Copies of this chain bind each other. A is one copy, B any other.
Amino acid sequence: MSFSFSFDIQSKEGRARAGTFRTPHGDLPTPLFAPVGTQATVKSVTPAQLEELQATLVLANTYHLYLRPGDELIAQLGGLHEFMHWQRPILTDSGGFQVFSLADSRKIDQDGVTFKSHIDGSTHRITPEKSISIQENLGADIIMAFDECSPPYDLANNEAALERTHAWAVRCLQAKTRSDQALFGIIQGGIFPELRKRSAEYLNSMDFPGYAIGGLSVGETKAETLSILELVDEYLPKHKPRYLMGVGSPVDLVTGVQRGVDIFDCVLPTRLARHHVAITRAGRINIANARYACDAAPIDDTCHCYACQNFSRAYIRHLVLAKEMLGSTLLTIHNLTTLVTLMSDIRLAILQGCFEQFAADFFEHWECAS
C-alpha cells in the first residue's frame, strides 16, 4: 500500500506550531501527547476508554513486542492495529532505548547490538535492518530509526554513539520497504551543542518525513534540555514534525511546544496512576494520602474525565488502599485526560494566536509549573 505522508502547519506563534500530520490511520492534530502502550496495551485502560478520552496517537515498544509475543505473530494476526484493536495512528520506537536501558549484557558493534532478553535471558541481536523488519511486521504509521542512546555527559561515548546512530539511520532508510510507514530519524548527541547541531544537520540532509529528538530527559538538567531543543530547532526543517521522545509532564509539554516540538510521549501519566498519583492543575496529588479519606470532591473539579465526573477522591483512595484495579484505571483515565486536554488547549491557543498568553497563564496557575 502506498501512502503520501504530509505535515501541514495551520498556525505558528513564535516557535510553536499547530499542524496536522496525515497518516494511513487518520490525521493527527499537533501538538499532541501520545500515551504509551509498551506491550500493545496502554496499561489499565481499554482502547474504548482511550478513544473516549480523545487519545489520537499511541506508542508501542519494538523491543518488548519483538520479545513477546513476537513481531511475526503480530504480522500474522494482521499487524498491531488489528492485534490491539487501535484503529487510530500508532508509533513504534526502534528498540534502541530499551536495548540500552532494559536488556542484560549488551554488546555494541558497528553492525548492531547483541543482548540478552530481560524476560528469559535468551540472546538476541538487533541491527538497523532488523529493527526496520520488526517495525514493518508491527505495521505502525510512524516508525523510528535504530539509534544508540548514551549517558548525556560522556563526550567520547556520545561522539562514537553518534557516528553509529548516523550510519544506522542511513541503513534504516535503505532497509525500509513499506511506503505506508513514515520513518523518523533520531537526533542524538547528549548535552553537547556541537554534536546536536551535527546530528540535526546530518539527518536533515537525509530528508526524513519527521525527526525525533532522543537522549533527553535521561538525567540532564531542565535548562540543558531546553537549550538543546532551541538549538535543534534552528537546524531542523520547519515543515516537518518534531517528536521529543519520552517527555511528558505538563510543564515539559508547554516548554517543549514553546521550542517547536509537535509530538510527545511518556509513561509518566500511566506510571504515576499505578503509584496512586494524580496529575492536576494543583500539582501532583497522592490519592492514598489520609487527607482524602472523607473527601467527596473529584480528583480535579475542572476535569471532564470519566473519573472526575463520577467518583470522589475518597472512593478512589479506598480503591487504592484496597488494592483494587479500578483505582489504577480511574487514575490513568484522569492523568491521560489531563495531558491530552492540555495539548488540545495548547493547539487551540496557537490557532487563535494566544499561545504565549496561554503559557503565561499556565505558569501562573498550574502548581507544578511554578
Is A234 an interface residue when CB atoms closer than 8 A count as contact? Answer: no
Closest to A49 in B: B46
How many A residues, CB 8 Å from partner?
38
Q: Which residues, 303 to 324 on A, are CB-close (under 8 Å) to B?
A: 306, 310-312, 314-315, 317-319, 321-322, 324
Copies of this chain, complex-wide, total 2
- Tell me which of B43, B45, B77, B329 contacts A315 (CB under 8 A): B77
The smallest beta-carbon distance between A307 and chain B, in angstroms, is 9
Is A160 an interface residue when CB atoms closer than 8 A count as contact? Answer: no
A170: chain B residues at CB < 8 Å are none
B315 touches A83 (CB 8 A): yes
Is A98 an interface residue when CB atoms closer than 8 A count as contact? Answer: no
The smallest beta-carbon distance between A60 and chain B, in angstroms, is 12
- Tell me which of B84, B306, B315 contacts A40 (CB under 8 A): B315
Known contacts: A46-B329, A83-B312, A329-B46. The answer to whether A322 contacts B73 by CB under 8 A is: no
A326: chain B residues at CB < 8 Å are 41, 43-46
Q: How far is the CA of A306 from the CA of B49 in the complex (A)?
A: 12
B44 touches A314 (CB 8 A): no
Is A294 an interface residue when CB atoms closer than 8 A count as contact? Answer: yes
A66-95 vs B: 1/0 string, CB under 8 Å? 001100010011100001110000000000
